Every structure is written in structure tokens, then in C-alpha cells.
A and B are shown apart, each in its own frame.
Chain A
């Protein structure tokens, strides 16, 4: 069994050291059975999913001005600022110095000396990407209701539905957005799908689609969602995505990419080039659902095969980066260089995307592109292993990599059934061609 010691991030004010955390008799207004009755929260139900990707894109492109702050964005910002002024955060993240590291990549460094204080290092098992939910450990049913901002759901309607004060229906296990009390940037929140179902940190199709919905509805390219699997620096084994605002592109988003394959649903999969962490970029697709399902298929494959990974949802849900990584494994085996280890920076999704949160002033002041690169490179799979993993992913989602080498044009029959497969533990992708000319292979 591989383990590493690290200081866990405190995401909630109710997250005590694990040992002291057992049986917190209530009176603190949590989400447990003891307090849930009568709880009320705003509810945001987003627009119904567009069946056709083209329609959705056209609407976006025909804005005549810079788009105004979207409704969801003002809800996130307004509720977050409210918790900020109520003093619920462990520190004022806007008081943390931050800068762009000079160089051509534009890594962003933040000095955050307060984020990791007052916590003892804890042992984390890092060799199992899938672990079952443990109700005795800290989880999001234990957070105080004041840390929750609103309920979020994928709507059934063509319009956004908003209810400022909606009873929390415990039977239906709402998805909620909560603050992260140790924010790494302004607006740092957690999206917890079906919080009362106590799902372990594990990608399923429905939850990833919900995260994509949130990215699309926030309608701001500077509001991204991220995901860390276990073994890739998730600290809490209770399904959650993170999100925050940083009004500049991440180096990962700026990196060039080279197309590898296109699925029959038009999801284009590319390899990110000239970046320290070898990553895959998923974009396009006939609909957001296609894009989401393809990424979910890939992630389900990774987690089932015990490969730790991170996900970055960019460009309002249009681009999704998947980064398989091996830093924790290397760390446990003593293969990470001591200088890199000393910085105590854990390359989770935000660090890999190029936003480095540094704990020591000397690291911040001496931050250079080379240092950032060296740290991130430690997390990357080797070229050989990355290729191998890619081939397995493509196989798992039914994509044939040789497709791109074909000289004859392939004809893809579009699938217009419109049926939406939302089964949460599907392991195979949608229809994929491995086509020869005018041949069409459809599987579902």
C-alpha cells in the first residue's frame, strides 16, 4: 500500500482533525438528518440541455456587446461576497500577493502562507483511485448550512428557474454549491453533486455533465471548474468539483495542441504540446452531452484502471482538459527530487493548469518558469506511458487512432435518435466509427 503524508486542505470550518471529528452531536446546522429539516437555500435550475450544439453556439456568437455578468455569475459572486463579509473564510485571499511569472508561458504564482497553517500532516493512501465512501471521515454532509451558497440542478425547462428560498428536499439529494473556506482565488467554491447520496470521489456521467452545465451557465471563460481524483491530490473522498475566478488564461489553456482523433459525435481529442504535463484536450461534439459523455468515458476508464488524473473544464464548458498524473506515486516511492518536494506544492488541477499556490515566501520571490516547469514535469506521465494510456483510452471509448491516417474520407452517419443516455456508470462511449470509405459502424 502506497501512502504519502501531507497537510490536508481545510475546505470547511467544520473540518477538524480527523481524530477529533467523530460524532459531532449537532446544533451546528449541518446537512445531516439532525438538522436538514426546515433547511432552506436558493435554488438555481439551469436551462434545459441543447440537443444541437450548433444552436447553442450560434446564440453565443451573436452577442452584440461584451456579454453582461450572467445571472449565475452574480449569484455565485454575491453569495460568496456575503460569506466573505461575514468572515467565514480562514483568510482574505484578495490580500494574498499574486503575480505572473515572467516568461513565455505566463505561470501565475500566489503567495499563500495561511492556507496550510494549523494543520497536522495526515497520511493519504494514494495507490487506489477508487475508494469507498467513509461516513466517519469528514464529508460535505458535515458542513454548516451557512457555508452553502445555493442548490444547483440541471433544469427541465428552456429557461433558467430561480427560487430564492427553496426548502432542501433531503429525499431528492440536491446538488449544492458551497464555499471553500481556504480559497485559492476569489469565488472559490465546491460543486457537490447529490450531496446527501454520499458519493465517493469518482467521475460519473451525470455529475460531470452537471459540472459542465455550471461552466456553461456561468458564461465566463475565467470561471473554470476542476476535479482531482484520489491519488491526484483530492483530499476529501466525497464527490466534488472546485471552481473559482481568475481573469486571465491559464498556461495550459494557452498551450498549442495537436488533434489525435475525432469521435463520431464530433468530439475532437487533441494532445497538448509544449507543456510540462502531458494532457488531453476534449472539445467540440454535437452537443454538450456528447462532449461530457466522451470525457466521462475516458475518466471512468482511468479510474477503473487506477490511473490518477485531474480535469479542467475551460472556456465555459467548451474545452475539457484531462491530465493523468503520477506525482503522488513517485513521491511515495521516493522518486521526486528533494528541491521540488521541499516547496510542499501539490500538483493538483490548478497547479497543473499553471496557477501555483506557494507556501513559502522564498519560493514566491524566486518563482521562475524553470521551477514551475520542473515541479509540473514531475507530475506528468512519461511519453511512453502517456501514449500507452492514450491508446487504452481511445480503445475504451471506441476510437481508433489510425483513423487520422486514412487517406479516404470517412462518412459518419449522424445519430439523430436524440435519446439521452444518463446512466451513471456506463463504461462505453457513444457510437464511434473506425471507418473506411462510406462504411458506417454505429454501436450504442
Chain B
């Protein structure tokens, strides 16, 4: 698997994320909005940005190519409040809106305070999260007239927060102990200085503006989904169906880089409900081609039916097993699959999925500096168990 291959396929996925859901010209319509916002797709591994508005690009200093495919965390930096990061992570996990002040970084490395307002976008039919829209309203600080101390001990009004950073830089230089850290901001050691990084409250009008921006983005998304017939909305209208996974579960599963699928034994014919990027690379199929299918499409004329029977038996007994099985790729080429299957329980202790982890037999001879292939395979099972168990613990 080459890097170019995987990034290429990711790029198409980001395009698809929009094109399959909305009618033509959606991007042009979004481009006309004056707001700074991004749209992310939790169902693509890495939860990347699939759209960034001209306002966002201007504010952050990045080009569109540099932003698409990246995760929102790329704009956070050393002074970004850890607690705020946790709160955003939580909102994503619970698929709910959130509004908070956040310190982000421009391409130039200069930090700025903004009001971050994020909201999920749901499919009207099955309640599945389609995207997250995140609006960024810069916090002016004007009207607050905070008294801020600068390095010389004088007090003054500072409205541009990026000034502040350089102010502290200069102090470090003055003290003669400024160490040049490539692009890194000097660690703010001054007690008052630390406080300024901790919180910056947005004004009521900024909060209002963020809410309005979210609404205008949502209304465009809704309008263009109507035209395509695959409706989205800003509020969940029905409970998520059994066949679709929560976005938080998909984000957690997306961190696992090996080839694996999840199948749901409670649905007829035990279809695949999740397939990792590496699985798609290994087998040559596209995600849409495998979701909803039973795994038997991997078998072919030379596949040993007694192995298939053995697998079926284990699944019926709810046990785990490891088999070696001849599988077929989309292009009909074959490979020996060292397949491990395990039942995976949800938070109530019931078997919710089976995980199947594929290791191509020829790839087994790894160098001695690696974790044993068997351990790597089992680590996927472990990571899936952790992700599934907690994704069912959300109270909503």
C-alpha cells in the first residue's frame, strides 16, 4: 500500500462527501456566504475538513488545498486550552452543538481568539450525522477594554491579541534568555500572562453572530439536499437506525490503521457496517460497495468451504477464531487471508458486532523490531472493543 494511493482515495472521498448528498452548485452557494466556517465529515477516517469557506481561508491564512483533508485540531496550538479541546471532543462524541471561545493559530503561527460554534448535520431519514458545521467568529476584544499588562509593567488597553504574543516575546528577549524554538512561541512564564491565555469571553453580539452564521449554512445545506432528495437537517428527527454507526464510533474506528470490518449479527445476513481504509486498499473495493454486504463476496471458487463452515460455527457459538482462508479481491486476484474473528460486546454486555481482522499471509514476515503480527492483529480487536463499549454509553 503506497502513501499516494491512500491519499488519492481520501481526496475522492472528501469530494464524494459533498457530491452524493447535495445537488450541483452547493459549493458555489456556500462560497457566497461571508462567514468563516468549515464542514467536516466524521465518516471519513481522520474526521477531515471537506469544505472551508473563503472567510475561513482568509482568517487562517491557509489555501483551500492545505485545509481540505486536515482535522480541525491542526489549527490548535500549544496555548489552546486543553479543557476546550476536551469539550469539543465530547460534543462530537455526543453529536450535539457546542459554542465556546477557542484559541486557534494562523498559518503564520500567530494565535487568535475566536468564538467556535459547531453543530451536527443529520440525515432526515435515519438520524445519522452527515457532517459537522463549525463557524468561527473572531473575538474582537473591543468593547471589553481589558487592562492588560505588558512587559514593561505598564498597563494599557490591548485589543489585538496577536500583539500580545510579540509583547511577551520581546520581554523574553529583554531578559536575555529567549531561546529560539522553531516557530514555537516562547513558553509564557509570567503568571498574569498565563491567565490571558486561559479564557476570553465573546460578547453577546458575537455569540448571536455565530448562531446566525450556523443557521445560514444549515439552511443552504438543507435547500441543496432537498434538490438531491437526500434531506439533511439541523435537528435529529428520529433515532439512529441499527444499521448506522454513531459518528463518534466511526471516528474512533478511523484511528485503527489495519484492515478490518465490523458486521452486525442482529441484522439479516450479518452485513458489514464498517470497513476500514486498509480493508478497502487490501480488497480493491470502494466503501459503498461493501457496506451492507455479507462478507461472502470475498470468497471464490477455490475457497475451502470447510473453513467457511468453521467460521460460521464460531460465530454461532459467539466465540473468536483464527483461520487461514483464500480470499478474492475485486479484480479477482487471490490472497491468503489470516483472518481473526471475535464477537464484540456493547456497554450492556451484549454482542453487538463481530470484528474480522485481515492479515495478508505474505505480509507476515516482518522485521524483528515490530510488534508480532498476531499481537498487532489482536490490538485491532482490543481497539474496537474499547471504541464500541464506550460509544454505547452515551446518554441521549
Residues of A near any B CB (own CB < 8 A): 42, 52-55, 57-58, 61-69, 71, 73-82, 84-85, 92, 94-100, 102, 106, 108, 162-165, 186-187, 221-222, 245-249, 253-254, 259, 262, 264, 266, 268, 283-284, 286, 315, 318-319, 403-404, 408-414, 416, 437
A254 proximity list for chain B (CB < 8 A):
86, 90
Decide: A53 and B46 in contact? CB cutoff 8 A: no
Closest residue on chain B to residue A246 by CB atoms: B390
Given the known inter-chain contacts A187-B386, A247-B391, A404-B191, please indicate yes or no for A66 contacting B378, CB distance below 8 A.
no
Decide: A248 and B93 in contact? CB cutoff 8 A: yes
Chain A CB within 8 A of B371 CB: yes
Chain A CB within 8 A of B255 CB: yes
Residues of B near any A CB (own CB < 8 A): 45-48, 69-71, 73-74, 76-78, 80, 82, 86, 89-90, 93, 105, 149, 153, 175, 177, 179, 181, 183-192, 194-195, 198, 251-252, 254-257, 320, 342, 344-345, 347-349, 368-372, 374-379, 381-383, 385-387, 389-391, 393-395
Closest residue on chain A to residue B375 by CB atoms: A78
Decide: B47 and A100 in contact? CB cutoff 8 A: no
Q: CA of A286 to CA of B342 in the docked complex: distance in angstroms?
A: 44
Q: A71-B371, A187-B386 are in contact. List 15 more A-B contacts (CB 8 A).
A: A52-B184, A54-B181, A54-B186, A61-B78, A62-B74, A78-B372, A84-B382, A97-B348, A98-B347, A98-B389, A100-B393, A164-B368, A187-B382, A264-B189, A266-B194
Whole-angstrom distance between the Cβ of B393 and the nearest chain A Cβ: 5
Can you offer 23 A-B residue contacts whose CB atoms are under 8 A? A42-B371, A54-B185, A58-B181, A61-B77, A63-B71, A69-B255, A77-B381, A78-B371, A81-B379, A82-B378, A97-B349, A163-B368, A163-B369, A164-B369, A186-B389, A245-B386, A247-B386, A247-B390, A248-B93, A262-B194, A315-B86, A408-B153, A410-B190
Decide: B386 and A186 in contact? CB cutoff 8 A: yes
Q: CA of A77 to CA of B260 in the docked complex: distance in angstroms?
A: 16
Closest residue on chain A to residue B90 by CB atoms: A249
Whole-angstrom distance between the Cβ of B274 and the nearest chain A Cβ: 15
4 closest cross-chain pairs (CB), A and B: A77-B382, A65-B46, A78-B379, A247-B390
Decide: A99 and B393 in contact? CB cutoff 8 A: yes
Decide: A78 and B69 in contact? CB cutoff 8 A: no
B179 proximity list for chain A (CB < 8 A):
52, 416
Partner of A85, one of B76, B198, B257, B320: B320
Q: CA of A52 to CA of B78 in the docked complex: distance in angstroms?
A: 12
Closest residue on chain B to residue A438 by CB atoms: B153
Decide: B184 and A61 in contact? CB cutoff 8 A: no
A69 proximity list for chain B (CB < 8 A):
255-257, 379, 383
A95 proximity list for chain B (CB < 8 A):
345, 349
Decide: B187 and A286 in contact? CB cutoff 8 A: yes
Decide: A68 and B371 in contact? CB cutoff 8 A: no
B189 proximity list for chain A (CB < 8 A):
264, 266, 286, 412, 414
A55 proximity list for chain B (CB < 8 A):
181, 184
Q: Identify which of B90, B192, B376, B379 gathers the most chain A CB atoms within 10 Å of its CB.
A: B379
Closest residue on chain A to residue B70 by CB atoms: A64
Decide: A85 and B378 in contact? CB cutoff 8 A: yes
B175 proximity list for chain A (CB < 8 A):
411, 413-414
Given the known inter-chain contacts A162-B369, A245-B386, please indicate yes or no for A61 contacting B185, CB distance below 8 A.
no
B71 proximity list for chain A (CB < 8 A):
63-66
Q: Identify which of B86, B372, B375 gathers the most chain A CB atoms within 10 Å of its CB.
A: B375
Q: CA of A164 to CA of B371 in the docked complex: distance in angstroms?
A: 6
Given the known inter-chain contacts A81-B379, A100-B395, please indicate yes or no for A164 contacting B77, CB distance below 8 A.
no
A186 proximity list for chain B (CB < 8 A):
382, 385-386, 389
Whole-angstrom distance between the Cβ of B288 and the nearest chain A Cβ: 22
Q: Identify which of A68, A71, A92, A408 gathers the most chain B CB atoms within 10 Å of its CB.
A: A68
